[in-house]
Amino acid sequence: MRAMVLSKVGEPLTLQSLPDPLPGNDEVLLRVEACGVCRTDLHVVDGELPNIVTPLIPGHECVGIVEVLGPGVSGLKPGQRVGVPWLGGTCHHCEYCRGGRENLCDTPEFTGYTRPGGYASHIVARADYCVPLHHDADPVAIAPLLCAGLIGWRCLAKTGQAKRIGLYGFGAAAHIVTQIACRQQRDVYAFTRAGDITAQTFARSLGAVWAGSSDEMPPVPLDAAILFAPIGDLVPLALRAVKKGGRVVCGGIHMSDIPSFPYRWLWEEREVVSVANLTRADAHDFFAAKECKDIRTATRIYPLEQANQALGDLRAGRLSGAAVLKP
């Protein structure tokens, strides 16, 4: 198979020819059709996540066709289209797995981090953690849903019944969440890098009622805010934008340090919470929800061997929507 491989943290990925992997017990081999590029991939290649073991194939927004079933697989069949998301496996017996919070499993496996990912022509995945997809789904359009969509969905759920929601960082996740939130009759306030008129125009085109720079105050106090940008300075800014009892949800896996701020910005029962990973139930609920049907993802397609270009464009904020690799 062909794969874009991280050989050393901080260095560009290299295209390599590797032996075709074989699925083990309860695993499947997929032919990759498309793999989205997520900000978490940047945190992996930059070494901002702990315990990165190289060589490593990134990528956890993977859409593929099942080619080979490993021993013991019963729920999938060859020729079926599935998604391989970030949550690649859990232990089933820790207190979190038993308590319905497998996203917090003590010994999890993550696709494109602790398991080989989807920046490749083929991938082996644990069958129980694959997400069945419609056979007529467009692999490129659906790939960003597998992380940006699912994590965005989990973040949105954490805002409860909030009507006015601020989204900080208007990338792949925010452009999906905006569409869902609008269908739920919520008002979206989009916060972008200062002066990023392109992103602000994009946000309004998807239904945001207001768009501005992240250092601006919204025109009205917000009920909740979701931070997708990995910038700790945004936490106190978002706290100041939400009203009494409001909640700030941090959606990223990594963030720069949060600066100190006066307690009164948190007081009046404002909350800061984080979202970590996702559960298989999140994926099930997302793909079953009527407000998530026919989400339009804005994608830019790159050939697999241009993964470094795609990561660079994401890092520099040159994307409207999501980058997707095609092997």
Residues forming the site for Zn ion (CB under 5 A): 38, 40, 90-91, 94, 97, 105, 147
- Would you say 274 and 159 are in contact if contact means Cβ atoms under 8 Å apart? no
Of 36 and 212, the one with the shorter C-beta distance to Zn ion is 36
- Would you say 175 and 199 are in contact if contact means Cβ atoms under 8 Å apart? no
Helices 280-288 and 148-158, axial angle in degrees (round to 10)? 90
Reading the block at residue 54, the tokens are 């190289």
Of 97 and 123, the one with the shorter C-beta distance to Zn ion is 97
Of 105 and 310, the one with the shorter C-beta distance to Zn ion is 105
In the complex, minimum distance from the CB of residue 84 to Zn ion, in angstroms, rounded to a whole number:
12
In the complex, minimum distance from the CB of residue 324 to Zn ion, in angstroms, rounded to a whole number:
13
In order, the DSSP letters of 95-141 are HHHHTT-GGG-SS-EEBTTTB--SSBSEEEEEGGG-EE--TT--HHH
Burial of 51 (0-12, 13-18, 19+ CB in 10 A): exposed
- Taken in order 1, 34, 70, 112, the sign of the CA dihedral is positive
In the complex, minimum distance from the CB of residue 96 to Zn ion, in angstroms, rounded to a whole number:
5
Of 147 and 307, the one with the shorter C-beta distance to Zn ion is 147
Of 98 and 163, the one with the shorter C-beta distance to Zn ion is 98
- Would you say 83 and 139 are in contact if contact means Cβ atoms under 8 Å apart? no
In the complex, minimum distance from the CB of residue 91 to Zn ion, in angstroms, rounded to a whole number:
3
In the complex, minimum distance from the CB of residue 60 to Zn ion, in angstroms, rounded to a whole number:
6
The strand order across the sheet containing 271-274 reads: 210-213, 187-192, 164-168, 222-227, 242-250, 271-274
In the complex, minimum distance from the CB of residue 258 to Zn ion, in angstroms, rounded to a whole number:
21
Give the residue among 327, 284, 275 at the shortest CA–CA distance from 120: 327
Of 131 and 162, the one with the shorter C-beta distance to Zn ion is 131
